[in-house]
Amino acid sequence: MKSWNEMKELQPLVGQMLMNSFKKDRISHAYLFQGDRGTGKREMSLLFAKSIFCRNRQGADPCQECRDCHRIDSGNHPDLHWIEPDGQSIKKDQILHLQKEFTYTGMESNRKVYIVVDAGQMTVNASNRLLKFLEEPSQQTTAMLLTENGQSIIDTIRSRCQLLAFQPLNVRRIENKLEHEGISASNAKLLASLTNNLDEALEMNADEWFANVRKLVIQLVEVLQNKPQEGLLFVNDQWMPHFKERKQLQRGLDVLMLWYQDLINDFLDREDAIVFTQEKEKREQSSMHWTRQSAAKCLSYILEAKRKINQNVHPNLVMEQLTLQLQR
């Protein structure tokens, strides 16, 4: 996103509020961007940082051509600091390092900006250190905390930030954009159900690894329906070798969830909500195996499996347990 008008199309209220910050010269010392994955939080924070540092700004819009704008794009701006989870969490030492960096004068100006990605994953100690940092704000410092769940941020930090709620994007709008890029209607529907981020959707579509995810999900469902005694064998021999990383396994479980959501939508005659539009015959076979109630239970089992993956439970154990649950 290169301009605030573009961001306003994506997030009208948040975009307008941040634009007004520049027009009125009232930039807060700390913001909390909260909203679902893919709703534009990272893009908004980048554009906001550019508007702060750009020396050729036109109104609120950065020029996108100067040295500062280019270095922010490349991740090399000396006065913009990113903090992202180290493994499963953001640790105290990361915040301590940030504090140390901020004791130094800005490399090229007195302004400094830091962006904390997945701020809800801060450890208790990291949260307490950040709180102390926020309690003594410098007028030349701006913080942006990004999270999918605002309630995961401790109240004392929330109270020191300007809260900006990012709204879910219109799925149909994403589908239309993907189809405009030449993606088939069925793939556009699947991709738009998995992410609100257009660039991420295009990357997934071009990824051969992702193309096989859809096939594996349908194969797993067919094994569970027709040869349940081979479920564990399929998971260990075909499913797990494809989903080698936790992030990949989460993606596979997301697609599996969509299959069971389709079953429930089928039972409720919500044809427009069906994602696997080309697999009608297979879906009809599944609806003879699972009732609406059992499909809903399967969704809860998958959500629990996703939670365990985030908690560092061994992926093979999680998938084996899930397979046994889905067979019932």
One domain for residues 43 and 153: yes
pLDDT at 264 over 90: yes
When pLDDT is cut at 50, 70 and 90, the band that residue 37 belongs to is confident
Instruction: Please give the DSSP secondary-structure letter assigned to residue 106.
Output: P
In total, the chain counts a number of residues equal to: 328
Helix (H, G, I), strand (E, B) or coil at 261: helix
- Joined together, the tokens standing for residue 99 give 């504090």
Give the number of other Cβ atoms within 10 Å of residue 158's Cβ: 15
| Distance between CA atoms of residues 111 and 59, nearest Å | 19
Residue 185 lies in a domain: no
Q: Report yes or no: 155 and 168 within 8 Å, Cβ to Cβ.
A: no
218-241: pLDDT as tens digits = 999 999 999 999 999 999 999 999
Residue 43 lies in a domain: yes
Q: What is the CATH number of the domain that holds 229?
A: 1.20.272
Q: Strand (E) positions, the chain?
A: 30-34, 80-83, 112-116, 141-147, 162-165
One domain for residues 231 and 105: no
Number of domains forming the structure of the chain:
2
| Nearest alpha carbon to residue 67 among 112, 58, 76 | 76
pLDDT at 17 over 80: yes
When pLDDT is cut at 50, 70 and 90, the band that residue 126 belongs to is very high
One domain for residues 17 and 157: yes
Domain boundary, last residue among 112, 138, 165: 165
Residues 143-167, mean pLDDT to the nearest whole number: 93
Residue 182 lies in a domain: no
The torsion of the CA quartet 92, 97, 103, 105, rounded to 10 degrees, works out to -140
Q: What is the pLDDT of residue 1?
A: 65
178-223: pLDDT as tens digits = 999 999 999 999 999 998 777 789 999 999 999 999 999 999 999 9
pTM value surpassing 0.85: no
Element (H, E) at 67: helix 67-74
297-315: pLDDT as tens digits = 999 999 999 989 988 899 9
- Give the per-residue SS3 of 140-168: CEEEEEEECCHHHCCHHHHCCCEEEECCC
Residue 260 lies in a domain: yes
One domain for residues 161 and 220: no
Phi, psi of 50 (to 5 degrees): -60, -40
- Sign of the C-alpha dihedral computed for residues 47, 50, 56 and 60 taken in this order: positive
One domain for residues 154 and 220: no
Instruction: Please give the DSSP secondary-structure letter assigned to residue 211.
Output: H
86-124: pLDDT as tens digits = 888 999 999 999 888 887 766 667 789 999 999 999 999
One domain for residues 41 and 153: yes
Q: What is the CATH number of the domain that holds 90?
A: 3.40.50.300
One domain for residues 145 and 230: no
| Distance between CA atoms of residues 72 and 64, nearest Å | 10
Q: Report yes or no: 144 and 31 within 8 Å, Cβ to Cβ.
A: yes
One domain for residues 227 and 139: no
Q: What is the pLDDT of residue 104?
A: 72
Q: Which amino acid is at 163?
A: L
Q: What is the pLDDT of residue 108?
A: 66
Residues 125-144, mean pLDDT to the nearest whole number: 87
Element (H, E) at 296: helix 292-310
More confident residue, 144 or 172: 144
Domain with 237 in it: 207-327
Q: What is the pLDDT of residue 135?
A: 84
One domain for residues 8 and 140: yes
Q: Which amino acid is at 225?
A: Q
One domain for residues 216 and 157: no
One domain for residues 133 and 276: no
Going from the C-alpha of 241 to that of each of 208, 234, 245, 316, the distances in angstroms are 15, 10, 10, 10
The torsion of the CA quartet 311, 317, 320, 324, rounded to 10 degrees, works out to -70
Residue 195 lies in a domain: no
